[in-house]
Amino acid sequence: MKALPNTTPAAGKRLSPRPSQGVEHGGDLTAVRARFPDAPEPWIDLSTGINPVPYPVPALPTEAWTRLPERAQEQALIAAAARRYGVTDPTTIVAAPGTQALIQTLPRLLSQSRVAILGPTYEEHEVCWRRQGHETTIVTDLDQTTDADVVVLVNPDNPTGRLVAVEDMPSPSKLLVVDEAFIDLLAPACSLAGNLPPNTIVLRSFGKTYGLAGVRLGFAIAEPETADRLRLEFGPWAVPGPALELGRLALDDDGWLNATAERLTADRQRLDDILVEAGFTILGGTPLFCLAEHPDASTFVERLGRHGIHIRRFRHQPRWLRFGLPGSDAAFERLRNSFSN
């Protein structure tokens, strides 16, 4: 793949009418507390797909906080990521301050293109491509992407959990972007990272599986020229020292990840059982969240809010609710009891 050209929207080109601040996200506890001021504390936040039992943060070396990040530290993180994601060439991996930063950067690196995004999915992809003046369309089937220059898909999808098999991936004329933010806990064969096709960029998230979203760490896996271009865009010291150190430790910890996968599988089944008992239909999800449907979903948003439990709703799909995993037995019981009180 040729290095991506640096382009900006042509003069007078209208950008997206949908600013990013208009996108709804989970995790907005300040806003939901204002809506339910009498709800019991502490709140249980089930509105994100972030592991509620995070990787234990050790004491980090003082130098991680006081010195500028060194190249050797970044190389050690990249080596750990390469092993974790099955990537044979570490030069194809770019560390970034969160996957969101990569999602915002990629549309700036391509000339004006026809972009097809497989949806419904994480809305920031659409917002960021439109903002840079690309002709952006949401499609519901990969058969609708044949005329696209760029195809974007989240795999497995957020919020539906839809999983596109590796052999069914499209081959756009310019670029395939596959956001694998929730793939860590699936079989390695589900990922493109270890066998990257031409004209493809894979995004991997650190914070979700490891429960450390505040670290702001993500990775792009791309052909060498494209990886170099991304590094130039982010410049030196893109990832802070504490994130480099903590990311390396966590990605190298096979025992923690294996135990976490077992726990999350059991907890996801436990969540599904509670929701089915409450009259929901399970539509899909991943080991980190469940998408469920109910004809009276808005009533449950209010009921759970009064009980200090925050869940994710969707303005374009009013019957859908996404539930992250409770992080303890007490949280599971509080959720179960909230449906009946």
Residues 35/37/41/47 CA torsion (nearest 10 deg): 0
Does 37 score more than 70 pLDDT? yes
Residue owning tokens 């449950």:
300
Do 183 and 162 meet the contact criterion of CB atoms below 8 Å apart? no
Q: Could you give the CA distance from residue 257 to residue 188 in angstroms, rounded to a whole number?
A: 13
Short-list 216, 222, 4, 205, CA closest to 94? 222
Q: Which of 20-24, 90-94, 150-154, 159-163 has the lowest mean pLDDT?
A: 20-24
Q: Two tokens at 49? A: 């797909």
Total residues found in the chain within this entry: 341
Type of residue found at 210: Y
Token pair for residue 125? 């992809």
Q: Which residues are CB-neighbours of 192 under 8 A, at least 6 positions away?
A: 166, 169, 178, 180, 200, 202
What is the structure's pLDDT at 173?
85
In angstroms, rounded to a whole number, what is the distance separating the alpha carbons of residues 67 and 331? 40
pLDDT confidence of residue 10 = 35
Round to whole Å and give the CA distance between 124 and 105: 12
Share of the chain above pLDDT 90, in %: 89
The sheet with strand 135-139 has its strands ordered as 93-96, 218-222, 200-205, 175-179, 150-154, 114-118, 135-139
CA 33 to chain centre: 24
Q: Which pLDDT score, from 0 to 100, does residue 264 have?
A: 98
The residue among 278 and 18 whose pLDDT is bigger is: 278
pTM of the predicted protein model: 0.93
pLDDT given at position 341: 79
Residues 127-171 pLDDT 10s: 999 999 999 999 999 999 999 999 999 999 999 999 999 999 998
Confidence of residue 22 (pLDDT cuts 50, 70, 90): low
- Burial of residue 295, with CB atoms counted within 10 A of its CB: 0-12 exposed, 13-18 middle, 19 or more buried: exposed
pLDDT value at 1 more than 80: no
What per-residue confidence (pLDDT) applies to 13?
A: 32
Looking at the chain, the whole-number percentage of residues with pLDDT higher than 70 is 94
pLDDT at position 28 is 87
Rounded CA-CA distance 250/206 in Å is 9
Q: How do residues 60-85 score in pLDDT, each as one tens digit?
A: 999 999 999 999 999 999 999 999 99
Dist. CA 341–CA 184, nearest whole Å: 36
Identify the burial level of 324 via C-beta atoms within 10 angstroms of its C-beta, where 0-12 means exposed, 13-18 middle and 19 or more buried.
buried
